[in-house]
Amino acid sequence: MAQEMTVRAFEVEALAWLEANAERKPERGRFSWGDGDDGVVEIWSEHNPEADAVHLAASRAWRQRRFDAGFGWVDGPESLGGRGLASAHARAYAKLEARFAVPPQDWFKLGPVIGPILMAHADAGLQERYVPGLFRGDLVACELFSEPGAGSDLASANCNAVRDGSDWVLDGQKVWTSDANIADIGLVLARTDNDRRRHRGLSTFLIDMHDPAVEVRPLRQMTGGAAFNEVFLSELRVPDSHRIGEINEGWRVAVHTLMFERQLVAGGHGRGGVGIANGERLLELTRHFGLADDPLTRQELAKVVTAFRVAGYLNQRRDLPPDALIMAKLSLARNLSAVAGFVAGVLGPKLVADTGEWGTYAWTKFVLGAPGNHIAVGTDETIKNIIGERILGLPKEPVADRQ
């Protein structure tokens, strides 16, 4: 059986396949001030439709080749196209692939979120139709939860779903939706019972993002780019077979989805460009501006590097319950904001005036993008409540709806 393959034997097989299908990355030396592109420090990727189409095609082709060779979903069930191995094998493959220059897979980041949700809450027919495609790269998914009046208070979502025979008709607006502009399918949280309060009247549906009743508009951020979208659903007909979970039980599906997504976000400690998490780029920044020997600057830099290191250790632990991993999401938001504050202190006016000097104004998108991490996938306050209630066992926060 597949489960009996040792990790070492699997690594030998995987490495041989990677050597035959991809080029190794060149050895990266230490970060050198002034070398390469100084614009790699943005947090939120900006969209260019023409470039996106090219990059998406390359990423999809790699994902499909990898899946067909048995390395696309290493720890997934064989019945849905997975390899049937353990999570240790999947981690081993990820480490090996990181050595090779392969197309980025950010387009498909929600596949490992939506796929398990369908496996847990959808019927077998829907799983067979969509789950393999999410891991193979045939499908890009997005998550349609937040609304203009229901961000942190997601339970007050008002996107409406009305039963019409064997279909549901959805009307409403969603906001801050990543990848909606390229997505093939979307998981929607909608209100199916207006007489029930808050989370008790919500259901979830899987929708076709290419349906004419779905309109996607880019959202311009203060960074100047548009990494997110707003989505309008206008009398969108969705078959009841595409309802995920029981009617009015969508809150349970949404919470399960957010748990997976928070784990995904928590793993983003390497984002923001080369050398930030280990302090290389920040150290060279202080050296360039003559602050490497300043005791206060050195102390603040040490705090940033130490925080990233501790967060990295937390992400490596395998003995924590799923809820505990959201602590890494909270630390990521804090750490990126700490970097933003440190950089702003070093650069001063150079951060806001584009003089053309390498490594200065390029930090603007990072600094402006950092606050978004305190909101994404639940605000810091929401995460703290979860930590207090589910991990520490503290009393639940008083809410009128619970009385």
User: From CA 342, how far away is CA 335, in angstroms rounded?
Assistant: 10
The angle formed by the CA atoms of residues 397, 399 and 402, to the nearest 5 degrees, is 105
Q: Give the Å distances, CA to CA, from 121 to 125, 138, 183, 191, 273.
A: 12, 21, 21, 18, 37
Task: Find residue 167's DSSP bridge partners.
Answer: 164, 239
**Helix 280-288 × helix 295-316 angle, to 10°:** 170
The three-state secondary structure class of 187 is strand
Query: What is the CA 279 to chain-centroid distance, rounded?
Result: 23
Q: With contact defined as beta carbons under 8 Å apart, do 239 and 169 qualify?
A: no
Question: Please, which residues bridge with residue 207 across strands?
Answer: 186
Q: CA-to-CA distance for 259 and 390, rounded, in angstroms?
A: 12
For residue 74 the two structure tokens come to 């290493």
Q: Read off the tokens for 207.
A: 């929708």
- The SS3 call for residue 298 is helix
Q: Which of 261, 284, 357, 397 is catalytic?
A: 261
| Active site annotation includes 147 | no
Catalytic residues: 261
